[in-house]
Structure formats: structure tokens, C-alpha cells
Structure 1
Amino acid sequence: MRPLNGIPPEMNPSTLIVIPARAGSSRLPRKPLRLIAGRTLLHRTIAMARAATAGLSDIQLLVATDDEEIAAHARAAGCDAAMTESAIATGSGRALAAARQWGTEPRFIVNLQGDSPFQPQGALRAVIAALEAGAQVATPVIALDWPTLDALRDHKTRSPFSGTTCARAPDGRALWFSKTIIPAIRDEDALRQSQPLSPVWRHVGLYGYTLDALTRFEATPPTALETLEGLEQLRLLELGIPITTVPVPPPVFDSSGIDTEADIARVEALIAAHGDPTP
């Protein structure tokens, strides 16, 4: 590995948080630079990550991009940036490519999606804590109450591949992820009367890896089930790499990413109504 931007090896962190910020987006071109209520999507994500990790030591934040303007925009916010190849297919792959530019290897790499600046409070810290406790891969999930599950079902009638759910074991191990709503619920009416939360967990697209787990993921071609669902984390499960899910409280705003002009308008309306959650 070579040092990134002249950073000496002794300053390399135990945990590297990487924000993939690719320029190309068919639905929202140059997405990282798009303004949301006067601040760019990338600057909002950087600010959220800094606030979420305040007080934690041995952590470095890094933007991984394929565009010099985006890299300069990250540095203007005081965040280092690594240039990566445009051909890299996944955010996790881009995170690994950026990590390989450091002088020494970090123990953990966190892939913080650059289009999700409104993550649930505590999600980033919870993922890092799970890695430090021994998880090979960690990712957050949110328990859905019944009204939220009803809203997700309604949303999927119009956008069936928006929103991911997770079936998990009692010890937190992920059993499966799907773009359909899992598990199916038998005797749902009785269950609604007996408990406030549904058995459905919604996945938040934030991943933390050990370096070994991420290297194995990136060295393996996409699997058939991963391709069918469009969910890269299924490759890990098919490789036999366990994923630890960490429950986090619901966010102030919906935690789905910013992918369209409509998403920007929706979030700006929420900011106008409830205030800006970005520090």
C-alpha cells in the first residue's frame, strides 16, 4: 500500500469510514454535489458522520470518488479523498479500493453510503461497536411498528424494489435480506392485537467489515441470488460469512437514499416542516 496524500503510516486508523461518492448516476447526475436545502448531499453526509463519531478515537473519514471535482468538494469540507476507478461496481468495492491506498491496513472498513445523510441516530457507532466486539460484518436494522409496515407495503405497490427487509435470528445473525417483505406473517390480526411491533425488520444500507471479510467479498463474482434481488450483502451470506445485525431506533427522517428529484423535494419538505437534522 502507499500512503494516501502523504499521510504517514503511523497515523492510519483502526477504523476507516469510507463514503463512496461516484459521479455517474442515471437518475440523478452528479448526485454528491446536488443541493438539499442549501447544502450538498456530500457535505451533509460528511457532517453526519463526524457528528455520529464525535468522541471516538482511532477513526478516519474518507471520501472515495472517481471525479476530481467531487474530491475537491470533499476536501473543501476538511475531509480527505481518494481517487478510485469508475468501473468499480459496488460501494463496498470502492471502499476497499480506497482503503488499499493507506500506508497500513485498517482493522475495520465502514461503507457509509454517500446518498444517505439522514441515517438513524447511533447507527454508525453501533456498527463500529459490533465490529470491535468480534463481528465480521455488521449492519443496522430497524424494527417496524404496524403503521410503518403498512406504509412500506403501500409504497411497494408503486416501487417494489425500494426498501429492503431482513430476517434475523434471536442472536442478531442475519438469515436473509430481500426486496420483498419478509417474513410472511400468519395470523397477523391476532399478532397486531398482542404487540406494538411487527416481526419485520427494515435494513439500513450501512456496512462495517473486517478487512478480511471485505477482501473475500470483493474477490468473489456476484452470485445468482445477489443478482436476482439486487442486494450485494447476499454474496456474503452465500460465502458463509456471517452478518451481525444491530437494532437502531428509527431516524427522524426516512432512511432511504436520495436517488431522484422527487427524493430531494420530499426531504426538503421534511426539513421545512421539522427542522434540519444535519449538524
Structure 2
Amino acid sequence: MTPERIIIIPARYASSRYPGKPLVGLRGATGEIRSLIARSWNAAKAVEGGDAVYVATDDERIADAACDFGADVVMTDSACANGTERCADAVSRLGFAPQVVVNLQGDAPLTPNWFVTALIDAIAAGADVATPVLRLTAKTHARFVEDRHAGRVGGTTAVMTAQGRAMYFSKEVLPYTGRIYSGAEQVPAFHHVGVYAYTPKALAAYMQAGACDLENLEGLEQLRFLYHGLPVTCVEVDGHGREFWELNNPEDVARIEAVLKREGIA
């Protein structure tokens, strides 16, 4: 049976901020070290509603590592500028047309499986592009602000309409409030979790539109959709107490390992 809902993990070796990031080892709760790409694969396989998972890369080192732990690999063009382009390229090489394509970026191994299921449901309900947003806790908001003050690129924030349509995404902490919150306060800001679900039509429109100034300036691929007037649905999700952190900088390794240990993730 042809898979209808596929998950693609785009992975590249030549990251400007953290070269070789997909192969970085992360120690889990049992002390076992597994690569970032292996942990991202495990997160993808845990998603209810996904029919197949693929690692999409242009690097033989990543492909070999993925094959070693049993992943299905699609080799893609080295000219792909971002994960969305790599997903589109991978789909073009699979030989079939899925109904839903999920882009589970390879630097987010802590992504809860229910986040992805919520996106698949949003596409089924009529969205062309869906992405999760998580209300920042006071602790996470403080970390975002700390990273920016230190000149580090931490997480991405999302600003959206009352109906959940994305207005803007930024690596700055938006909206700007100029203050730090206490644990009891509701923070008026949302963390954009770097996961996407698309229809094949939306992926084709993204590729046809071509790169824009905003995505190049911010380094955020999803801004191409907004720049060209292609709607992005933000799906608010509940972390159920799980702290979410992406691996953007070497400093994030310890943060992620602490969550793996606390959550009992091997």
C-alpha cells in the first residue's frame, strides 16, 4: 500500500552554526549515546498517523549513519537551500504522491509525537501548511532572552492572528515586552516548534515562489510562505510539562541531555 502520510527528516552536514550536527552524540537516561539523527528518527517513528519515515540528505556520512540504525534514506540535491526544499526534492524522488508530507527537522529530537499528529489532523481539516506553536513558559522565555543577549540564536518565536494564521516568525523574542516573567505568569509569546506538515500542492507553490529577502535575512525558511501570501496555520499544542529544546548551538547539548534524563528517554 502506498504511504499517504509520510514523515521526512531533512539532514545536512554543513550547518553554518554547528557543522556535523546530525552526527553529534546525545546521552540518554540509561547512559547510552545515540546520534542526533538517530534520536530524531526514533521521535518520528513514535508518531501515530505516520505511514512511513525517510531521512533526506545529500551527505554520505549521514546516509551511512542512518542506514546503520535501519532508516530509509533518500539522497537529495546538495543545492537544497533548506529543509522544506529538501522535503520537496525527496518527494520528487520517491515515485509516489503522498497526501501529507511532514517535515520533522533533524535538530528537534524532543518533539513530542502528539505535536506531529496534530499537524496531520490540521491538514486533513483543510490547511495547506501547518506548524506547531507552544506557549513559552517563564523559564523558557528567560532562556530565549538570555540567548539573544549573549548573541546566540536560540529558539524561534511566532506571532499569529486570533484565528491561528501566522503573521510572522522570528529568531528575536517577539512580541517584545522588555521584561522577565515569574513562574506564575502567563507569557504572551509562543515558541515556534520547527516541524511542518504540507500538502504536495503547498510544497510545489513554495518551490515555484523562490527564495525571498525575509527568509534570507532571518534564516527562517517558513517566511517564504508568508512573503508570497501563502497561508500557514499555527496549531497551538500542549507540551504536557515536557521541556522542548532544539539543538541549535553546542550549548544545547547539555540542555537536551538533561531533558532526556528527566523524561527517562533512553
Q: Say yes or no: TM over 0.5.
A: yes
**1:45 alignment partner, one of 33, 37, 40:** 40
What's 1:150 paired with?
142
TM superposition shift of 1:261: 3.3
* 1:132-182 C-alpha deviation (Å, 9 max, x unpaired): 111110000011234433332233211353221111112211111122222
- Letter of the 1:179 partner, please give it: K
TM-score by length of 1: 0.83
Given the alignment, which residue of 15, 20, 35 partners 2:25? 35
Q: Assess if the C-alpha contact under 8 Å between 1:64 and 1:83 holds in 2.
A: yes
Scaled by the length of structure 2, the TM-score of the pair is 0.87
- Match of residue 68 from structure 2: 76
Say if 2:109 is the partner of 1:109: no
Match of 2:13 in 1: 23
Aligned-residue CA RMSD (Å)? 2.4
Instruction: Show the counterpart of 1:231.
Output: 220
Given the alignment of the two structures, is residue 243 of structure 1 paired with residue 243 of structure 2, yes or no? Answer: no
1:207 shift after superposition: 0.9
Inter-partner Cα distance in structure 2 for 1:267 and 1:162: 13
Asked if 1 retains the 8 angstrom alpha-carbon contact of 2:55 and 2:71, the reply is yes
1:7 matched residue in structure 2: none
In the TM superposition, what is the alpha-carbon distance from 1:35 to its structure 2 partner?
1.5
Displacement over 3 Å in runs of 4+: 26-29, 145-148, 269-272
User: 2:265: which partner in 1?
Assistant: 277
Residue type of the alignment partner of 1:235: R
| SS of residue paired to 2:107 | coil
Correspondences of 1:1-279 after superposition (within 5 Å): 11-37=1-27, 38-53=33-48, 56=49, 59-159=51-151, 161-185=153-177, 196-250=185-239, 252-256=242-246, 258-272=247-261, 274-277=262-265
State the partner residue of 1:6. none
State whether residues 121 and 249 of structure 1, in contact with CA within 8 Å, keep that contact through their aligned partners in structure 2. Answer: no
**Residue number in structure 2 paired with 1:8:** none
Q: Point out where structure 2 has 5 or more consecutive residues left out of the alignment.
A: 28-32
User: Rg bigger for which structure?
Assistant: 1
CA-CA distance at 1:203 after TM superposition: 0.5
1: CA distance, partners of 2:238 / 2:105: 19
